[in-house]
Amino acid sequence: MKFSIWQCLVCTLLFAFLLNGCGYKEVDKRSFATSIGIDKGSEDHRFKVSVKLAIPQSEAEKVAEEFQLITKEADMLSEAVQQIAAEVEKTLDFGHVKVIVLGEQLKAEDIFVVKDWLQRRRDIQNISFVSLGKPSAEEVLAFKSRGENIPANALILAMDYVGSESQYILTQHLFEFSSKIEETGLDPVLPLIEIKNDTYNINQAVVFKHHHNDMLLSPEETRYLHLLTNGLKEGAFKTEHEETMLMMSIDKAAARISLEADDRALIKVDVKGKVEEQSSPKLIQSADLSKIAESMEEKIKNDLTDLVEKLQDNAVDPLGFGLKYRARHWNSTKTEEEEWKRLYPELKYQINVDVDLKAPAVIR
């Protein structure tokens, strides 16, 4: 059957009516948010939402981009966002949000609502970094680092390990935080952001349990938890040998954690590095390395023991021992949870540390 040209044109027009129009707005008609902060509201409202908007410049390489911080209070998060959108002349776009800061004053029930809302928003990426702001998320977002050319870029570089690879920063993506906070036997950990000495200070972390920030870790505890959960690619450990203080630079540090059949926790830590600094002019010989390694092993083992026992005393489990226990038992979730609550305070730890020290560092 042959079709005439007119018949083909009519069919083409009919199919054209079935096509949807483009609902996407152009870039110049959008206001891009780079970070979101959520705090506890005042007495009249439940939440206080802060959105940091980027203001592009014509020559970004010469002039640092400015930002606009808009804060609104409401009983619902979506309501606060709509109020913020009303003050922006362009469409509010959350597609570029990489940092979410929660105020440390948020209550447990508020944390659940915030987590649920963030997951339901289709324009907020699940790979965004979640953190805690002290004293508030608004103050953290309002600060601008001197070397920051793009709004919130300093926090993104710190969290994403693109810039700094600090051993004190424990990053947590939104999808990880949402999963762990609902999981029985594995508690999430969020980095704590403070403004000190005109810069961001991120060297502590907070362990959450049941949607509430239950335990604040010191910088040293944060570093050791980083070692146990993610390993370390750089950093340093300090020890004392024959009245001489020594610093060992880390080439690689990793940990393997398991729950044995007798419900005993086994932690194996392997550390590779070299002596980087010493407090005395006495030269370190190769024969001394084994003794120094033993001192390092004892120091790391004692510090790790203090950390895991402190986590145990506070009934928090960021290492996931409870999840490992549940994976080996086939009772109901409620029964397993009750049984683990009984067993966890009595859990015994066996920590083995192996330090491999290379020849002392040489200044060339």
Residue-wise pLDDT for 238-251, tens only, equals: 888 778 888 888 88
Enumerate the H helices of 121-218 as residue ranges. Answer: 137-142, 153-159, 174-182
Residue-wise pLDDT for 322-355, tens only, equals: 989 888 887 777 788 888 889 899 999 999 999 9
Using CA of residue 136, residue 142, residue 146, residue 147, what is the dihedral sign?
positive
Architecture of domain 227-364: 2-Layer Sandwich (3.30)
Q: How far is CA 31 from CA 26, 27, 51, in A?
A: 11, 8, 11
What's the pLDDT at 204? Answer: 95
**Residue ranges of the domains in the chain?**
29-217, 227-364
- Averaged pLDDT score across all residues of the chain: 85
Report phi then psi at 84, rounded to 5: -65, -40
